[in-house]
């Protein structure tokens, strides 16, 4: 698989508000995937979770993750594999607001729960369709 830096067309695809799925591994080895919002910035991927999500426990146990972003024609997609390098509390909800604005055009509606941001460092990637390495 190719390693960073990502080609311009792959990075451009990741900057869009694409539907995405993140996968991680439970401590018992079972893979788990969930839909997620993400932002691609400065060669890293940002995701944000409610503080009560089990996936935070899974990521703390094993920081390896895969995120797949799908373009509008879902045959065009890119998957990045890497590690959560940083978990950061989001007390002012600034990161979830950025994610929500990117996807919906407005701030995140649920202001009652604490949030945690995860920054993913990309180790490898692969793509299909217009995102495939040429």
Taken in order of first residue, the domains within the chain and their CATH numbers are 8-128 (2.30.110.10)
- What pLDDT, in 10s, does the model give residues 70-128? 998 878 999 999 999 999 999 999 999 999 999 999 999 999 999 999 999 999 999 98
- The SS3 call for residue 98 is helix
pTM here? Answer: 0.93
How far are the Cα atoms of 4, 21, 37, 55, 75 from residue 124, in angstroms, in the given order?
A: 7, 16, 20, 22, 20
- What pLDDT, in 10s, does the model give residues 41-66? 999 999 999 999 999 999 999 999 99
pLDDT of residue 75: 87
For the chain, what is the total number of helices (H) and then of strands (E)?
3, 7
């Amino acid at each position: 698989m190719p390693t960073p830096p990502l080609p311009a067309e792959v990075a451009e695809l990741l900057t869009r508000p694409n539907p995405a799925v993140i996968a991680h591994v439970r401590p018992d080895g079972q893979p788990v995937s969930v839909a997620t919002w993400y932002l691609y910035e400065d060669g890293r991927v940002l995701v944000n979770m409610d503080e009560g999500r089990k996936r935070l426990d899974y990521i703390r146990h094993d920081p390896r993750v895969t995120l797949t972003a799908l373009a509008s024609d879902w045959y065009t997609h890119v998957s990045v594999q890497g590690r959560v390098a940083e978990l950061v509390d989001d007390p002012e909800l600034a990161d979830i607001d950025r994610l929500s604005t990117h996807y919906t055009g407005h701030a995140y509606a649920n202001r009652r729960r604490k949030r945690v941001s995860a920054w993913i460092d990309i180790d490898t990637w692969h793509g299909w369709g217009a995102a495939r390495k040429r």
